């Protein structure tokens, strides 16, 4: 049994549904603990009775330490602050042998069991950003990404988890300060600070916009197969992190603040199936008046077009400077009509 936990509010319900669907398709036995960060999110998931999920209300796991600092954090910062707390709560409340934290905007394309097996007898598993060199933000955002983490319910695992929780309660903000950033920079030295921490080697775990340029993907009968361009090493895609994919009324826009390049074939193989699912769930939720169609108020997000142009220009300049310009195709944002699906 693989036990997962995640957190999000009603703005991410459609992503949460896609996450659950992917686990249901890829895992033989799993359970997902969803920490709902507002009443609308909790009420919706409680009403649909997902067989392999437990829905936890915000007030249920908030303790005195969290409530004391809650007013000092923005909504996003408070979610980051709570990440180690929800993992610890799930382990202790439900007496789990281990718990896997996943971001709501992750989608599994293959069974993640192989990732868990890689850590062996280690107590904690973390995943690197594996930035494409020209986008390397490790010094600012951290070597590791809080996207897929495993904590075992043992002495070493809980020691790390308690330390991380304490640090996040002390300081967890969306700014760079004294070598810190949010909940993420705290992970940088875990391999040397603690015993029993493993950094994932499998390239199939942690593919994301900031590293996808290093790979080519294609569909095979067994799933999606990737190849690392620098080494020709082949691997199965386990999960993809759909960072900063946003929906607008009747359209979907992929916006990335760092303007990463995504080739047409990688878009077709990885993004297009996910886009279809997100639009499907957003439409259902909109019809039920759970979210606005399909999730954001702006019917014609003019500012998104500005960032679309800016992102492509910055990406072009960066690639010219680093001699990594893909002359065949360069794209960082997609604006796709709902009618295409």
pLDDT in tens, 115-153: 999 999 999 999 999 999 988 889 999 999 999 999 999
CATH, residue 37: 3.90.550.10
Tell me, yes or no, whether 9 and 146 share the same domain. yes
Residue 294 placed within a domain:
yes
Tell me, yes or no, whether 200 and 248 share the same domain. no
Tell me, yes or no, whether 200 and 249 share the same domain. no
Q: What is the pTM of this model?
A: 0.87
The beta-strand segments (E) located in the chain are: 2-8, 30-36, 53-57, 98-102, 106-108, 124-128, 144-152, 176-177, 180-181, 197-199, 205-207, 215-220, 223-228, 234-236, 239-241, 245-248, 251-254, 335-337
Q: Which of 143, 174, 204 is the last residue of a domain?
A: 204
Tell me, yes or no, whether 81 and 164 share the same domain. yes
**Under 8 Å between Cβ of 143 and 185:** no
Tell me, yes or no, whether 249 and 187 share the same domain. no
pLDDT tens digits for 12-65?
999 999 999 999 999 999 999 999 999 999 999 999 999 999 999 999 999 999
**Under 8 Å between Cβ of 322 and 311:** no
**Under 8 Å between Cβ of 303 and 40:** no
The per-residue pLDDT for 255 is 55
Residue 236 placed within a domain:
no
Query: What is the span of the domain harbouring residue 312?
Result: 244-340
Q: What element of type H or E holds 79?
A: helix 75-93
Tell me, yes or no, whether 191 and 301 share the same domain. no
pLDDT tens digits for 257-274?
445 778 889 989 999 899
127 vs 50: CA distance, rounded Å: 28
49 vs 104: CA distance, rounded Å: 18
Residue 336 placed within a domain:
yes
pLDDT at 335 over 50: no
Q: Which of 177, 204, 231 is the last residue of a domain?
A: 204
Lowest-confidence segment of 12-16, 90-94, 121-125, 304-308 by average pLDDT: 304-308
- CA distance to 15, 250, 276, per residue, from 340 (Å): 20, 11, 9
Tell me, yes or no, whether 118 and 45 share the same domain. yes
Residue 194 placed within a domain:
yes
The per-residue pLDDT for 290 is 81
168 vs 155: CA distance, rounded Å: 20
Using pLDDT thresholds of 50, 70 and 90, give the confidence band for residue 279.
Answer: confident
Per DSSP bridges, beta strands 180-181 and 124-128 are unpaired
105 vs 55: CA distance, rounded Å: 18
Residue 212 placed within a domain:
no
Tell me, yes or no, whether 193 and 275 share the same domain. no
Q: Which of 179, 204, 229 is the last residue of a domain?
A: 204
Tell me, yes or no, whether 200 and 62 share the same domain. yes
> Count of domains in the chain?
2
Residue 166 placed within a domain:
yes
């Amino acid at each position: 049994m693989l036990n997962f936990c995640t957190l999000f509010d009603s703005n991410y319900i459609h992503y949460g549904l896609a996450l659950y669907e992917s686990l249901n398709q890829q895992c033989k036995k799993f359970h997902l603990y969803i920490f709902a960060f507002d009443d609308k999110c909790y009420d919706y998931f409680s009403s649909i009775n997902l067989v392999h999920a437990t829905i936890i209300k915000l007030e249920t796991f908030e303790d005195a330490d969290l409530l004391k600092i809650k007013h000092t954090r923005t909504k996003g910062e408070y979610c980051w602050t709570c990440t180690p707390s929800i993992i610890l709560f799930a382990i202790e409340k439900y007496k789990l042998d281990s718990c896997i934290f996943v971001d709501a905007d992750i989608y599994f394309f293959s069974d993640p069991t192989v990732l868990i097996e890689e850590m062996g007898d280690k107590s904690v598993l973390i995943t690197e950003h594996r930035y494409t060199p020209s986008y390397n933000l490790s010094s600012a955002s951290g070597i590791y990404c809080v996207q897929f983490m495993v904590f075992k319910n043992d002495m070493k695992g809980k020691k790390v988890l308690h330390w991380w929780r304490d640090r996040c309660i002390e300081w967890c903000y969306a700014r760079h300060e004294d070598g810190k950033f949010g909940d993420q920079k705290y992970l940088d030295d875990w391999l040397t600070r603690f015993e029993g921490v493993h950094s994932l080697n499998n390239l199939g775990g942690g593919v994301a916009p900031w590293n996808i340029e290093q790979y080519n993907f294609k569909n095979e009968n067994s799933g999606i197969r990737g190849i690392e361009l620098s080494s020709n090493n082949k691997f199965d895609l386990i999960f993809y992190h759909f960072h900063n994919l946003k929906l607008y009324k009747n359209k979907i826009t992929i916006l990335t603040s760092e303007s990463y390049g995504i080739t047409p074939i990688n878009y077709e193989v990885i993004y297009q199936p996910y886009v279809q699912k997100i639009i499907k769930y957003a439409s259902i939720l909109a019809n039920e008046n759970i979210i606005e169609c399909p999730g954001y108020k702006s019917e014609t997000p003019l500012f998104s077009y500005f960032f679309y142009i800016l992102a492509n220009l910055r990406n072009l300049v960066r690639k010219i400077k680093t001699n990594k310009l893909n002359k065949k195709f360069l794209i960082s944002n997609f604006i796709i009509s709902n009618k295409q699906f």
